[in-house]
Each structure stands twice: as C-alpha cells, then as structure tokens.
Amino acid sequence: MQLTRAADYAVRMMIQLATLPPGTRTNRAALAASCEIPEPFVGKILQSLSRAGLISSHRGVHGGFVLSEATDAVSILHIVEAVEGPTLLNICIKPGDTCNRKFWCPAHPVWLEAQQAMTAVLRRATLASLAASSKQGGSSWTSL
C-alpha cells in the first residue's frame, strides 16, 4: 500500500514546473537535476504526464516542457493517477465483477471509505498551494 517511485517523482516534477514563472519551458536534464531523479526515469514520467494532458512539450532551441493547466486546477491526485491509473486501495473497489464477495463482505465499505478519505486529501492539495508552500520553505501547506 505504497505510492510508486514514479508517482512520487511525478509530483516533484509538477511542483518544480509550477514554481517557475508561467509559460517557462524547462528540459529533461534540468528537471532531473532539480528534482533529484535519474534522467531515464524523467523521460518515462514526462510521457505519462503528457498523455494525461497535464504538461505539453515544445520542440526547438527554446523548446521544453510546460504545464498545460492552471496550477489551481491540478491536484496531487490528478498527478498520481496520471502515472498509476485510477486509485484502487483494494481490487474490490474497481467497478464490475472484480470480487464476488463485494456485495455482502463487511470489509468492502471500509476499503471504500479509507480510499475516499485518502483521495479527498490528495484532491484538496493543488499544485498552486504546493508551489506557494515551496516558495515559502515547504512548511505551510494545509488542507484546513
């Protein structure tokens, strides 16, 4: 029940992009260095973020990667799910015939409620709030 390295790295990279002046393009090597991520890993994560529409890439001398959306429209949950797919704390939460016990199993509603509690926090944490917190030293983020 642990976040993948790729999702953690994706969040780092998106916060880094969000702290730059709007429209600033940055490249793979710069992201790898500032986010402390192995460069080959950066390319794969950029692909996932791009596919999800969270960043766009531009070619050329002044090319690079840039956020596609306003920072207050993107949450940590968006970023995590762009990399990991839909959050499923347990397989029974996935719609459809994923577990034949889900309609009577007393644990099923617990998994569902636990997932909702976790994703609510990740949904409230926008890139805008985290980038602001980053500029202030990283300690001021709160969902309250």
Interface with a second copy (CB under 8 A): 1-4, 7-8, 11-12, 15, 36, 76, 80, 84, 87-92, 100-101, 103-111, 113-115, 117-122, 125, 130-131, 133-134, 137-139, 141-143
Q: Which is nearer to a second copy, 68 or 90 (CB)?
A: 90
The residue whose two tokens read 């916060």 is 15
Nearest approach in angstroms of CB 117 to a second copy is 4
Nearest approach in angstroms of CB 69 to a second copy is 18
120: Cβ–Cβ under 8 A, 6 or more apart, which residues?
none
Nearest approach in angstroms of CB 47 to a second copy is 20
Q: Which is nearer to a second copy, 52 or 57 (CB)?
A: 52
Residue from 119, 72, 82 nearest 8 by CA: 82
Q: Report whether 18 contacts 67 (CB < 8 A).
A: yes
Quote the DSSP letter at residue 55. E
Nearest approach in angstroms of CB 53 to a second copy is 21
Q: Report whether 17 contacts 55 (CB < 8 A).
A: yes
Q: Which is nearer to a second copy, 48 or 119 (CB)?
A: 119
Q: Which two tokens stand for residue 56?
A: 């766009």
